[in-house]
């Protein structure tokens, strides 16, 4: 496993090192959701050494369909949310001082 700052090998415990290969130790504390661990470690300057083999399973067409579905879901959700000004007015407006 390498760090982005020093580009040297870092000795880490086996359970932690599994994360660098896209795996998470079963039974690990759930401080973060499983899919957040890579982002947490990258934020600490620790880059993954490889990816989980399942990442190679979907075809490009399957990935495209998945991303289209994600985009449609996000667009649908955003369409139900108020715009910023409305949100601030509804939930964050200051009351007049007495």
pLDDT by residue (tens digit) across 32-87? 776 788 888 889 998 888 888 888 999 999 999 999 999 999 999 999 999 999 99
In whole angstroms, give the CA distance from residue 53 to residue 38: 15
| Per-position DSSP letters for 43-73, written without gaps between them | HTTEE-SS--GGGGSS-HHHHHHHHHHHHHH
The sign one gets for the Cα dihedral 84, 87, 91, 94 is positive
Is the pTM for the entire model greater than 0.75?
Answer: no
């Amino acid at each position: 496993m390498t760090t982005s700052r020093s580009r040297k090998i870092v000795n880490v415990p086996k359970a932690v090192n599994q994360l660098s290969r896209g795996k998470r130790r079963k039974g690990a504390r759930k401080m973060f959701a499983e899919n957040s661990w890579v982002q947490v470690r990258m934020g600490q300057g620790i880059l993954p050494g490889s990816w989980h083999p399942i990442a190679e399973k979907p075809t490009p067409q399957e990935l495209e369909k998945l991303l289209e579905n994600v985009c449609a879901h996000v667009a649908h959700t955003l369409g139900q949310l108020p715009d910023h000004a409305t949100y601030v007015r509804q939930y964050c407006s200051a009351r007049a001082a007495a």
